[in-house]
Amino acid sequence: MESDFSYQAPRMELLFNTLKWMIDFQQIGITVEELSKRLDLGEWETQHLFQEYLRKDPIRFVQDAFSPSLAQIKQTQAQLSIFDSFGEEREESLSQIDLDIQIIEETPEEIRYSIFPYFLGTVFIASHESGICQLTFEDTETGSIRLRRAFPKSTIREERTELNELAYMVLMNYFVKTEDLPVIPVSVKATSFQLSVWNEIQDLGKSELATYETLAESLGDPALSRAVGTAVGANPIALLIPCHRVVHQSGKIGRFRWGSWRKQLILAIEK
């Protein structure tokens, strides 16, 4: 994997900086030619870069990123007849991430973390013998600091592990792979209520959005929407537990622990 990093890392950094620039400076009308000049790549290379990691071309990404309906909850289309069939022309759906999420019963003795390049920003992945316990973005919070606050009694050091690399492999295929991906064991500090919220979020498919209110209703108590919001914000496993798919009832993207701009990027890629 190390040898692959020498090729992948600069490409992902280039794409990350470009995507953030497109969001920050509202590049709504940009053309492939203009984007290619900024990237200092040929037009074919520019198209290939987006397809490689996003599974869509740059103009389609722009259209989705700045669509007024980006964060709107989809309404189910009424079936008029038993002979109606919807969705026959849908694009091939992406693979669903399958997590086995458990609450840590005892403080792990040892936790190992790794830092990986990624086109949505450098990621920090930590695990112990029972599963992944943290996956965060380094540009918004220092992963090792958060990890030590959560596990002050554990021995923590930087080291590549099979679990860390498995989680990273799933991340690399998150937006592009259509076959089933391996189940990721996740073992985190959490309350039973937080776990129930995260499991509800985990059941959301790509391009399927929910609100705090609808999540509370699915948990059996509409009055829990504020508590649901707190649980969503406490999620320690970015992207794989897709809290980015929880939006405001108003159709606004809303806040995101790792930046609203990043949430806009992810939703646009998944749209």
The CB density around residue 139, as the number of other CB atoms within 10 Å, is: 15
In this structure, the answer to whether residues 18 and 132 fall within a common structural domain is no
Local confidence band at 94 (pLDDT 50, 70, 90 cut-offs)? low
**214-218 LR contacts (CB < 8 Å, sep 24+):** 214/73, 215/246
Q: Write the DSSP string, the chain.
A: -HHHHHHHHHHHHHHHHHHHHHHHTT-TT--HHHHHHHHTS-HHHHHHHHHHHHSS-HHHHHHHHT-TTTTPPPPPPPP-STT----TTPPPPPPPP-EEEEE-SS--SEEEEEEE--TTS-EEEEEETTEEEEEEETTTS-HHHHHHHH-TTSEEEE---HHHHHHHHHHHTTTT--SPPPPEEEEE---HHHHHHHHHHHTPPTT--EEHHHHHHHTT-GGGHHHHHHHHHT--BTTTS-GGGEE-TTS-----TT-HHHHHHHHHHH-
Domain carrying residue 20: 2-65
Q: Is residue 70 part of a domain?
A: no
Q: Is residue 173 part of a domain?
A: yes
Amino acid residing at 98 = D
pLDDT tens figures, 32-85: 999 999 999 999 999 999 999 999 999 999 999 999 989 888 754 444 443 444
More confident residue, 25 or 93: 25
What is the pTM for the complete model shown? 0.90
pLDDT tens figures, 143-158: 999 999 999 999 999 9
Among 45, 65, 85, residue at a domain's last position: 65
State yes or no: pLDDT of 118 exceeds 90: yes
In this structure, the answer to whether residues 50 and 147 fall within a common structural domain is no
Among 19, 42, 65, residue at a domain's last position: 65
- In this prediction, residue 93 carries a pLDDT of 57
Q: Is residue 82 part of a domain?
A: no
The rounded percent of the chain whose pLDDT value lies above 90 is: 75
Q: Is residue 78 part of a domain?
A: no
Rounded Cα distance, 162 and 100, in Å: 16
Q: Is residue 194 part of a domain?
A: yes
133 tagged catalytic: no
Q: Considering the chain, what is the average pLDDT of its residues?
A: 89
Write the CATH number for 147. Answer: 1.10.10.10
- In this prediction, residue 85 carries a pLDDT of 42
- How many structural domains is the chain composed of? 2
In this structure, the answer to whether residues 20 and 138 fall within a common structural domain is no
The CB density around residue 57, as the number of other CB atoms within 10 Å, is: 15
Catalytic one among 65, 70, 231, 243?
243
Local confidence band at 177 (pLDDT 50, 70, 90 cut-offs)? confident
Q: In what order do the strands lie in the sheet with 99-103?
A: 99-103, 184-188, 131-137, 123-128, 110-116, 155-158
